[in-house]
Amino acid sequence: MKEIKIDLNKLLKEDKDSISNQEGQTKLFKIAELISAETSTVIKEEVLQQIKRLILTDFSLDEINNLMSFIHYSRLGNDDLLLFLKNYIKINFNLGTKEDATKRGIIIRFIIERNNKLFSLTDLRNEKYLFKHAQWIWTDCISFYDFHIVIDAIADLITDDKNAINNLLLRIPGYLKRFGVDELREAIIRWYPYILSVEDRHKINKWAKQLGIVLGISLHVNSRINEIPLEQEYIFNGTE
């Protein structure tokens, strides 16, 4: 290993975009790869200690995201570190701003993806700022506990968020992996009446089909038309 002296803070703050090779790998993730292959526990422990010393409140969203990806690719995300991160956010990222809530959500999701026993559904329901400001990340977290809550939350998001379908399409492969085709078919059928734009409906149909989810959506539209809120029913009928 050529770079024994790893200054993680500098890597994350200053060198995160330094080019490492022809494939576009950055120095930060090259180091992650080296650590992942490293057998010396001394080096791994040193990097773990550095992570614990980082003052994450100084970090931008992109740096927090890079740190989580760094831990992922260096395979340092053990329970000890996850607990450390959990304790860290008990006293940090509580300001109630959108930025703080998003950073907090990225860290919580990272922990839950690796060990969902470290948070409970009640803990997540109490994450008011996360729910208010970064609802997609909140739903990602919830999806490790109860998919039905996710289904309801996304139905609301489809109504409120202009990027909802893009954000949903991004998540469908992950949901498919976690819940399977049948659950997702039911979920999409539930969401479908809330999708008002014809273009968005086409997108959902297309990608459901491409990902192996057979919706039989025309039947659904007739059978569940009564569930559609009135104002949506008007638009829905007007466009069909």
Binding site for another protein (CB under 8 A): 1-5, 15, 17-27, 29-30, 33-34, 37, 61-62, 65-66, 68-69, 72-73, 98, 101-102, 105-106, 109-110, 113, 133-137, 140, 161, 163, 166-167, 169-171, 173-174, 176-177, 203, 206-207, 210-211
Which of the 8 DSSP states describes residue 228? S
d(CA 184, CA 161): 20
Contact in structure between 192 and 217 (CB atoms under 8 Å): yes
Nearer to another protein, 34 or 233 (CB): 34
Nearer to another protein, 190 or 203 (CB): 203
Nearer to another protein, 1 or 83 (CB): 1
* Smallest gap from residue 127 Cβ to another protein (A): 14
Nearer to another protein, 38 or 123 (CB): 38
* Smallest gap from residue 104 Cβ to another protein (A): 11
* Smallest gap from residue 83 Cβ to another protein (A): 19
Would you list the DSSP string of 8-36? Answer: HHHHHHTSTT-B-STT--BHHHHHHHHHH
* Smallest gap from residue 225 Cβ to another protein (A): 27
* Smallest gap from residue 170 Cβ to another protein (A): 5
Q: Phi/psi at 19 (nearest 5 deg)?
A: -75, 140
Nearer to another protein, 162 or 231 (CB): 162
Contact in structure between 18 and 27 (CB atoms under 8 Å): yes
d(CA 24, CA 81): 29
* Smallest gap from residue 99 Cβ to another protein (A): 8
Map tokens 């990097």 to a residue: 47
Burial bucket for residue 43 (CB in 10 Å: 0-12, 13-18, 19+):
middle
Chain centre to alpha carbon of residue 199: 25
Q: Phi/psi at 26 (nearest 5 deg)?
A: -90, 165
Q: Which parts of the chain are beta strand (E)? A: none
Nearer to another protein, 21 or 39 (CB): 21
Amino acid at 145: Y
